Homo-oligomer: A and B are copies of this chain.
Amino acid sequence: MLVFFVCTTFVVFFGQIVIAQSNYNLSTQGKQNVQLIVSSDFVVTMNEAQPVITNGAIAIKDGKIVAVDTQDKIMASYRAKRTLPGKDMVLMPGLVNGHSHSAMVLFRGLADDLALEDWLQNYIFPAEAKFVDENFVRVGEQLACWEMIRGGTTTFVDMYFKSDVAAKVVDECGLRAIITGSSIDFPSPGFKGWDDAFAASVDFVKRWKDKNPRITPAIAPHAPYTVSPEHLVQAIRAARHYDVPLTIHLAETQTEVRDIQQRYNATPVQHLENLGFLDPRVFAAHVVWPNSSEIALLAKRGVGVIHNPDSNLKLASGFAPIPAMLKAGIKIGLGTDGAASNNVLDMWNAIRLTALIHKGTTLDPTAVPAKTVLRMATLGGAEALGLSDKIGAIKVGLQADLIQVHLKEPHLLPLYDVISHLVYAADAQDVDTVIVNGQVLMHKREMLTVDLERIRREASSIAENIKAEFRPSN
């Protein structure tokens, strides 16, 4: 008891160096060897029973969390090759970005404040047709991964083209991702139409299924209004056959709802239900305009929903009924969408927007409170993606996907409530350290797996060509 007491006191008063010291002093007393110990003033766990551990630490072995406790207890029981200190830090699960088209960062700021048709038909579609090739996806994906690591995202969903290239970049940079090639009923980069696009996405699933513990391949029919009922059925059958997730854009705009109603005499979610499409392997992006029976249906079928507030507002799609969906018990995560409609892959913006806008639409300041939003950005996203047996919380047995957020900038002073600060005050640039699968990808904001100067140079070079075509006057 005395040893524990002394150790605790030292930790509180002198921080990390003394932790290492106490670790060293006690290292002969039968401690278990682990790969990494991470300490922090606060550990935000996402476990209801103990949401915040003060002066906490976790031990990591083989990429997994093997112990979560107070610093003194962890130090008394484990010996690590490396210990990350956590003075003035919060340790929490890495953020889960449930919807993105990552390589589109190369179109960031190319076209804003335009009517949807103008934006799509005169900028995005022609730019994709002309510029999206393997090199574009490689460089775009690298830039996106760099940005996401800097902002504390540890898992993301990538729905785009050239999936093998994207998977290789994700493998190299150390992030975790669900990767899928978007399949659509009209020509898209590299494809004539549905048949070859879908075949390629199934081939990708076959190649990558169970190949890399950090990469999950998936199926992604674009949306009910761009994919025929027959093709939607083909897609969900493939997802079930290969036992992989399926993601789709759903009920994003009022136009889509009217269009689907006219064509199929059903609203979008009901249309998918009529096709036998809805089940727990499906997670849908946006879902801005479900009616109340559709909300009940999504809950009943266990479909995940990814809320993308930045994109829904920028494209004027509207405000998703998140309070009603939460009440119905739907698994809800957050996403950034692609940078052409956001314009950043910044989960902290999505967190803050989610905590704010639904108070505005309901005129209820207690709507969607901070801890609910933080759960959506981590465990809720993991549940929606079908990954909550691996990630989303700080819990023994889960993968060590973690971030440390430092509390030193003035906008995080003073401190009454760490959850409040994470939701209402923190920025992407407050993230100090990022760990995925036990591997440190960023520490003290130094990037460890990404070649910044090469990406910067190659991204600028691609952008110069796009600029010459689309913004010649610049």
Contact = CB atoms under 8 A, between A and B. Distances in A.
Interface of A: 105-106, 108-110, 112-116, 119, 143, 146-147, 150-151, 254, 310, 312-319, 342-346, 349, 352-353, 355-357, 359-360, 362-367, 369-370, 409-411, 413-417, 420-421, 424-425, 427-430, 452, 455-456, 459-460, 462-463, 466-467, 471, 474
29 contacts: A106-B414, A108-B414, A109-B415, A109-B416, A109-B420, A109-B424, A110-B417, A113-B366, A114-B366, A116-B365, A119-B365, A147-B411, A150-B410, A151-B411, A313-B356, A315-B359, A342-B424, A343-B421, A343-B424, A346-B411, A349-B352, A353-B356, A410-B452, A411-B428, A414-B460, A414-B463, A415-B463, A416-B466, A429-B430
A52 to B, nearest CB: 10
Contacts of A460: 413-415
A399 to B, nearest CB: 25
A313 B428 contact: no
A318 B360 contact: yes
CB-CB nearest 10 A-B residue pairs: A414-B463, A109-B420, A113-B369, A313-B356, A429-B429, A147-B410, A316-B365, A313-B360, A343-B424, A316-B359
Given A414-B462, A417-B474, A471-B416, A312 B344 contact: no
A329 to B, nearest CB: 20
Contact of A364 (B316, B362, B364): B316
A312 B359 CA distance: 9
B360 A410 contact: no
Contact of A143 (B317, B356, B410, B471): B410
Contacts of A424: 109, 112, 314, 342-344
B357 A254 contact: no
Contacts of A415: 109, 460, 463
A140 to B, nearest CB: 10
A430 to B, nearest CB: 8
A21 to B, nearest CB: 25
B357 A313 contact: yes
A42 to B, nearest CB: 11
A176 B145 CA distance: 40
B365 A315 contact: yes
A316 B416 contact: no
Contacts of A363: 254, 316-318
B421 A369 contact: no
Contact of A367 (B106, B316, B455): B316
A184 to B, nearest CB: 22
A452 to B, nearest CB: 8
Contact of A112 (B254, B413, B417, B427): B417
B413 A114 contact: no
B147 A344 contact: no
A342 B355 CA distance: 11
Contacts of A366: 113-115
Contacts of A109: 415-417, 420-421, 424-425
Nearest to A459: B414
A163 B365 CA distance: 30
A415 B109 CA distance: 7
Contact of A429 (B115, B365, B409): B409
A256 to B, nearest CB: 13
A319 B112 contact: no
Contacts of A106: 414
A421 B107 CA distance: 12
A404 to B, nearest CB: 17
